[in-house]
């Protein structure tokens, strides 16, 4: 009897779509290489073929055994337990936690590291459940200063500066401060 | 050898400035290895321009010391936070982090300190005794076909570790291999799967992928637990393992030294495959296979011994052949070139002083892991006391900076967080994150050596298999796969 659930079918469909998209896209670079008979597509297409076979094998397992763990498997942690959500708020909170770092990353190019970081720290601490505003602001300031001192002042690491005013101007101001500090300390 | 070692030691400790560089390398490597989000590579990349003002021996020695201590330092974050400091520390997290969750972080870190030192010292001694004969052996016996065969064997072993089913183990490795095809193909330089992003032509960098799949996905897993009220803070412990406990794993240590050294000596392979193979062999020979991944001390011991055993071995192809075994040794080539030197066989004749200062420094750096490592570890362990909501943004930001400064691309930060979300979803569905990461790391090496190997044997498979090392590794890998297919099919079809 089948032990398939909707999420198993969705999982398999996602893999199949992924394989099809990558296979179709491989025609974009289907060029011959004079010194190599398998060309640029040989290796990825073999991987895609193997991936298709094991996806079908995985579907067979899901069909017969559902989500059951194969006996004798090595290196599986105990943490993959079922997590049940008791409220819609928890789900939205998780979605926000997953999306916020991506939004932060997207914002680095236009806004820059120096302006985006403090906002990111405050929001993520709040999303992770800290309610004491003084602590949130205090820790955010501490982390921000620590990163600035370590990467900007000590290591002089080039960080994204942004390309939109006034964020770019703020980054320029920070870098000028750093240059002045280095000059005054004879770094 | 002993005379050379003594003269190398005298040169190292005879000059206060050189001692200062050595101490800086030891502490810097450990700290950068142990700070979540940055790694020894970050430090090395930052220091590279400054080595121009040093003597060549001092510059190469500094990087070699950072390599030894940084490889150990990365184990601390792998154990405490599930964040490997470098790819070679990834298998350490498999059992180290579950040990932390069980309140055995002290034991795991203590074992990592001791075994890193043992692996590193053994490797340094073998390196000193046998660099030239081993390099000669490697020149005549190891080529692209053998390296591909080793990658094939390594991937076959990796797919049997992690993942709820064998199918998911394979799917994880294949996904990693596919991700590794993004960017230019290694033979013709043709752009593949860049999806309109010109920055993707350079491919997916290891650091953002590893940070995303391990560190960021771990933050998301813990954040999810916090969101549903199931979060439990990891317990801190300072109980180091007893000598008796470590003695019971002596065979695993010896095996991992051999595996680590063998993998380290192969050009292009380095410590990463060494750590995975060391871990895989520990699982293969264990009577208690199911306990791996759930906090088995032997998992930490095998991985950490093997990756440090590879550090000395990785210097052999670098110094004797001029071939870097990994990212860190590639940066060392940069140090040589900044001083108009080329690493290779001539270095032994033209600059023997340089060679022996480096060898002596690596020996002492590994020795210092034992002493400084224990003191440093006891301090770093207190990081576990920081509440998760304050530690998480710190880790995410350090990981972002670590990903960005490698190539200066915002895209790498986006890839890291994307990999984090993907890793979070794949972990929940029972896929193997280490399998994906190993696939990404070995994919390009595998493809490049397969292509070169095939060209070497004029696409004649029989000629390929007539090479004894190739044949042995291909048979071993195939047997692993066939056994896996049989087990997976018979289990899935059994009603």
Q: Is A183 on the interface with B (CB under 8 A)?
A: no
Phi, psi dihedral angles at B184 (to 5 degrees): -75, 140
**Surface of B (309-338) touching A: CB under 8 A:** none
| A169 plus A132 within the same structural domain | yes
Tell me the nearest-neighbour CA distance from A49 into chain B, angstroms. 10
* B444 and chain A in contact, CB less than 8 A: no
Of residues B18 and B42, the one with the higher pLDDT is: B18
Residue A72 lies in a domain: no
- Separation CA B349–CA B400 (nearest Å): 44
Chain A contact for B483, CB < 8 A? Answer: no
List the end-to-end C-alpha distance of chain A, in Å, as a whole number: 73
| A&B contacts, CB < 8 Å | 238
Read off the pLDDT of residues B355-385 as tens digits, 9 standing for 90 and up.
Answer: 888 888 988 998 888 888 777 777 777 776 7
Q: Does B98 contact chain A (CB < 8 Å)?
A: yes
Helix axes A42-65, A6-25, angle to 10 degrees: 170
Residue A79 lies in a domain: no
CB of A37 within 8 Å of any CB in chain B?
Answer: yes
Last residue of a domain, one of A19, A50, A65: A65
Q: Is B464 on the interface with A (CB under 8 A)?
A: no
A116 and A179 housed in the same domain: yes
* Residue B238 pLDDT grade (very low, low, confident, very high; cuts 50, 70, 90): low
Give the lowest-confidence range in A18-32, A143-157, B220-234, B265-279: B265-279
Query: Among partner residues B289, B413, B488, which is closest to A74 by beta-carbon distance?
Result: B289
Specify the pTM: 0.79
Q: Which residues of B touch A47 (CB under 8 A)?
A: 174, 177-178, 181
Q: What residues of B are in contact with residue A160 (Cβ under 8 Å)?
A: 404, 410
- pLDDT of residue B345 exceeding 80, the answer is no
Domain-embedded: residue A95: yes
Shared domain for A111 and A178, answered yes or no, is yes
- Residues A82 and B428: their CA atoms lie apart, in Å, by 8
Please check whether residues A54 and A123 belong to one and the same domain: no
Q: Which residues of B touch A146 (CB under 8 A)?
A: 394
User: What is d(CA B404, CA B392) in angstroms, rounded to the nearest whole number?
Assistant: 18
The residue in chain A having the minimum alpha-carbon distance to the alpha carbon of residue B172 is A51
User: DSSP per residue over A49-91, as a string?
Assistant: HHHHHHHHHHHHHHHHHTTPPPTT-BS--TT--------HHHH
Provide the pLDDT for residue B144: 85
Q: Say which residue the tokens 């399998």 belong to.
A: B435
- % residues pLDDT > 70 (chain B): 93
pLDDT of residue B161: 67
Distance from CA of B167 to the nearest CA of A (A): 5
| Chain B residues closer than 8 Å to A64 by CB | 492-495
Residues A103 and A31 in one domain: no
Say if A165 falls within a structural domain: yes
Please indicate, yes or no, whether residues A41 and A102 belong to a single structural domain of this protein: no
Residues A178 and A121 in one domain: yes
- Length of chain A as a residue count: 187
8-state DSSP, B495: -
CB proximity B45 to A under 8 Å: no
In a domain, A15, yes or no: yes
Question: Hey, which residues 50-79 in chain A have their CB within 8 Å of chain B?
Answer: 50-51, 54-55, 57-58, 60-61, 64-65, 67, 69-79
Report the interhelical angle of B166-180 vs B433-456 (nearest 10°). 60
Tens-level pLDDT at each residue, chain A (187 residues): 577 888 889 999 999 999 999 999 999 988 888 888 888 999 999 999 999 999 999 999 988 888 777 766 665 655 555 677 778 888 888 899 999 999 999 999 999 999 999 999 999 999 998 889 999 999 999 999 999 998 888 878 888 999 998 999 999 999 999 888 888 877 6
Kindly state whether B430 is in contact with chain A, defined as any CB-CB distance less than 8 angstroms.
yes
The C-alpha atoms of residue B366 and residue B113 are separated, in whole angstroms, by: 10
**What is the reported pLDDT for B446?**
87
DSSP state of B340: T
Is any Cβ of chain B less than 8 angstroms from the Cβ of A98?
yes
A185 touches chain B (CB under 8 A): no
Q: Give the burial class of B9: count Cβ atoms within 10 A of its Cβ; 0-12 exposed, 13-18 middle, 19 or more buried.
A: middle
Beta carbons of B190 and A128 less than 8 Å apart:
no
Put simply, whether B478 touches A (Cβ < 8 Å) is no
Give the nearest chain B residue to A129 (CA atoms): B389
- Point out the domain boundary residue: A18, A50, A65: A65
Predicted confidence (pLDDT) per residue in B32-88, tens digit: 777 765 677 777 877 777 777 788 888 888 988 998 888 888 888 888 888 777 777
Chain B residues near residue A127 by CB distance under 8 angstroms: 223
CB contacts of B276 in chain A (<8 Å) are: none
CB < 8 Å to B398, chain A: 147
Q: Of B293, B272, B231, which Cα lies nearest the Cα of B82?
A: B293
The answer, for A36 touching chain B at a CB cutoff of 8 Å, is yes
Residue found by looking up tokens 């208690």 in the block = B288
Of B225, B393, B417, the CB nearest to A121: B393
**What is each CA distance from B12 to B50, B52, B95, B120, in whole angstroms?**
19, 19, 37, 19
Q: Which domain holds residue A33?
A: 6-65
Of B171, B290, B405, the CB nearest to A158: B405
Note whether residue A130 is domain-resident. Answer: yes
The reply to whether A96 falls in a domain is: yes
| Cross-chain residue pair A61–B162, CB shorter than 8 Å | no
Same domain, A56 and A110: no
Mean pLDDT of B6-25: 88
Q: How many CB atoms lie within 10 A of CB A79?
A: 16
pLDDT in tens, B426-477: 988 888 887 888 788 778 888 988 999 999 989 988 888 899 989 998 998 8
Same domain, A106 and A150: yes
Q: Is residue A82 part of a domain?
A: no
Residues A57 and A98 placed together within one structural domain of the fold: no
Q: Please tell me whether residues A93 and A154 are part of one structural domain.
A: yes
Same domain, A61 and A150: no
How many domains would you assign to chain A?
2
Measured distance CA(B420)–CA(B413) in Å, rounded: 10
DSSP string of B95-108? HHHHHHHTT-HHHH
Q: Does A114 touch chain B (CB under 8 A)?
A: no
Mean pLDDT, chain B, rounded, equals: 83
CB contact under 8 A, B171 and A36: no
A92 vs B137 pLDDT, higher one? A92
Cα torsion A36, A38, A41, A44 to 10°: value is -110
Q: For A47, which of B181, B293, B397 is closest by C-beta distance? A: B181
- At A73 the pLDDT is 64
Using the Cβ of B232 and the Cβ atoms of chain A, whether some distance falls under 8 Å is answered with no
Verify whether the Cβ–Cβ distance A158 to B396 is below 8 Å.
no
What's the token pair of residue B276?
A: 């995975």
């Amino acid at each position: 009897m089948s032990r398939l659930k909707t999420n198993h079918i969705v999982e398999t469909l996602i893999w199949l779509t992924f394989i099809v998209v990558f296979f179709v896209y491989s025609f974009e670079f289907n060029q011959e290489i004079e010194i190599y008979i398998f060309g640029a597509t040989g290796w990825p297409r073999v991987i895609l073929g193997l991936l298709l076979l094991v996806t079908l094998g995985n579907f067979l397992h899901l069909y017969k055994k559902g989500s059951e763990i194969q006996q004798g498997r090595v290196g599986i942690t105990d943490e993959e337990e079922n997590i049940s959500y008791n409220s819609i708020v928890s789900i939205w909170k998780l979605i926000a936690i997953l999306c916020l770092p991506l939004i932060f990353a997207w914002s680095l190019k236009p806004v820059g590291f120096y302006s985006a970081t403090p906002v990111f720290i405050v929001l993520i601490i709040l999303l992770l459940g800290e309610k004491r505003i003084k602590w949130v602001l205090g820790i955010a300031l501490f982390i921000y200063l620590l990163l600035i001192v370590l990467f900007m002042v000590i290591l002089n690491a080039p960080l994204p500066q942004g390309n939109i005013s006034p964020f770019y101007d703020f980054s320029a101001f920070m870098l000028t401060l750093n240059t002045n500090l280095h000059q005054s300390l004879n770094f | 050898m002993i005379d050379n070692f003594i003269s190398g030691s005298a040169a190292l400790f005879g000059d206060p400035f050189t001692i200062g560089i050595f101490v800086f390398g030891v502490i810097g490597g450990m700290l950068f290895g142990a700070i979540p989000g940055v790694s020894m590579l970050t430090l090395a990349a930052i220091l590279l321009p400054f080595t121009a003002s040093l003597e060549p021996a001092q510059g190469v020695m500094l990087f070699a010391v950072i390599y030894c201590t940084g490889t150990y330092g990365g184990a601390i974050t792998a154990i405490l936070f599930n964040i490997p400091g470098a790819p070679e520390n990834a298998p350490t997290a498999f059992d180290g982090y579950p040990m932390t969750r069980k309140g055995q972080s002290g034991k795991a870190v203590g074992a990592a300190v001791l075994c890193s030192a043992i692996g590193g010292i053994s490797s340094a001694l073998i390196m000193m005794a046998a660099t030239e004969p081993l390099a000669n052996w490697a020149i005549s016996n190891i080529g692209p076909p053998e390296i591909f065969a080793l990658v094939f064997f390594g991937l076959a072993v990796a797919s049997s570790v992690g993942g709820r089913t064998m199918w998911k183990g394979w799917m994880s490795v294949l996904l990693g291999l596919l991700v590794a095809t993004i960017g230019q193909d290694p033979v013709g330089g043709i752009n593949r799967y860049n999806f309109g992003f010109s920055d993707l032509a350079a491919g997916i960098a290891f650091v953002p992928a590893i940070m995303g799949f391990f560190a960021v996905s771990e933050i998301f897993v813990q954040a999810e637990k916090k969101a549903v009220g199931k979060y439990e803070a990891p317990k801190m412990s300072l109980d180091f393992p007893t000598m008796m406990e470590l003695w019971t794993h002596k065979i695993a240590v010896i095996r991992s030294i051999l595996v680590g050294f063998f993998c380290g000596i192969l050009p292009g392979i380095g410590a990463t495959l060494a750590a995975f193979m060391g871990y895989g062999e520990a699982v293969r020979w264990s009577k208690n296979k199911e306990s791996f991944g759930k906090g088995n001390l032997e998992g930490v011991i095998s991985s950490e011994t093997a990756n440090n055993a590879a550090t000395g071995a990785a210097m052999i192809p670098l110094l004797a052949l001029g071939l870097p075994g990994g990212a860190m040794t590639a940066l060392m080539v940069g140090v040589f070139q900044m001083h108009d030197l080329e690493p290779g066989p001539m270095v032994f004749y033209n600059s023997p002083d340089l060679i022996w200062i480096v060898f002596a420094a690596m020996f002492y750096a590994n020795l210092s892991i034992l002493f400084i490592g224990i003191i440093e570890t006891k301090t770093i362990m207190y990081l576990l006391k920081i509440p998760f909501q304050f530690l998480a943004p710190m880790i995410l930001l350090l990981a972002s900076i670590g990903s960005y400064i490698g190539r200066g691309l915002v895209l790498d930060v986006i890839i890291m967080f994307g990999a984090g979300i993907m890793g979070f979803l794949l972990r929940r569905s029972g896929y193997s994150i280490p399998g994906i990461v190993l696939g990404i790391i070995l994919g390009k090496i595998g493809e490049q050596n397969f292509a070169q190997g095939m060209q070497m044997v004029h696409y004649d498979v029989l000629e390929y298999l007539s090479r004894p090392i190739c044949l042995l590794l291909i048979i071993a890998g195939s047997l692993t796969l066939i056994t896996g297919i049989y087990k997976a099919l018979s289990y899935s079809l059994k009603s």
